[in-house]
Amino acid sequence: MAIDLQEYEGRIVAYASKFRYYYDMDDLIQVGRIGLLNALDHYDPSQNTKFSSYAFLYIKGEILKYVRENKNIKISKELSSLVKPIERAREILRQRLQKEPTIDEVSHFLEIDRSVIEEVMLSQEFVRSLDYALNEDDEGKEMNLYHTLAYEEVGYDANVLDLKQAVEDLDEEERKLISCRYFEDMTQSETSKVLGVNQVKVSREETKILKKLRGVLTDS
């Protein structure tokens, strides 16, 4: 099958640019091109899927896989051990001060040098920013769920329509949980309040449902 590589180069660059602050753009673009070539190898016209849509799944999939596999934030054990105490201190100070505490206030509360607090908080902010870039998706929430299930385990041959149908086939409580978590961007804690159960149960049920949906992709 012949394709115009230049037509897809723009899409590769556009998606790769989401991660330009964290990784080398040339590396990201090269990975996206590998995804495009993999799409060419696996595409089956008889499935009545547009190649452009199919190729984008592969492009996105390869880039996401690269980003996740290289998501290593270098932080010393000493600093890593301060992450939880700092988060706890910030929570206590939020309640006490009724506002977001400053670095100086956290530093004074823990009696730890400001520069150390700053370094730990910056490393955590980097992780959160990258997580946001990973989870943000211009193609819609179905794609977020699709990649949660499929980016490593089964590649990208599974049909998104099959997944959509599988979600519709879940029972009411399962659909509500998946809707809260993947379509409405709720945390597990927020979801537990909507469903009237504790967070542990939400986590356990979510794992069970994702396993069920993953089976749809591996059987497709």
Q: Could you tell me the sign of the dihedral formed by the alpha carbons of 19, 24, 26, 27, in that order? A: negative
CA distance 118 to 136: 26
DSSP letter for 187, please: -
pLDDT of 128: 55
Per-residue burial over 43-79, b if 16 or more Cβ lie within 10 Å, else e, is beeeeeeeeeebbbbbbbbbbbbbbeeeeeeebeeeb
pLDDT tens for the chain, residues 1 to 220: 666 667 788 889 988 887 776 678 899 999 999 999 988 888 888 777 788 888 888 888 888 888 777 765 555 677 778 888 988 998 999 999 998 888 889 899 999 988 788 777 766 655 555 555 555 544 444 445 655 554 444 344 445 556 667 777 888 899 888 888 876 667 888 889 889 999 899 989 988 988 888 776 555 5
Measure the CA–CA gap between 101 and 78, rounded to whole angstroms.
Answer: 23
Phi, psi of 155 (to 5 degrees): 75, -150
Cα–Cα distance for residue pair 130/134, rounded to 1 Å: 6
Cα separation, 83 vs 164, in Å, equals 38
Cβ(178)–Cβ(170) below 8 Å: yes
Q: Which residues contact 180 (CB under 8 A, 6 or more apart)?
A: 186, 190, 191, 194, 195
pTM reported for the whole predicted model: 0.44
Count of beta carbons in the 10 Å neighbourhood of residue 165:
11
**Domains of the chain by start residue, with CATH:** 1-71 (1.10.1740.10), 77-132 (1.10.10), 139-220 (1.10.10.10)
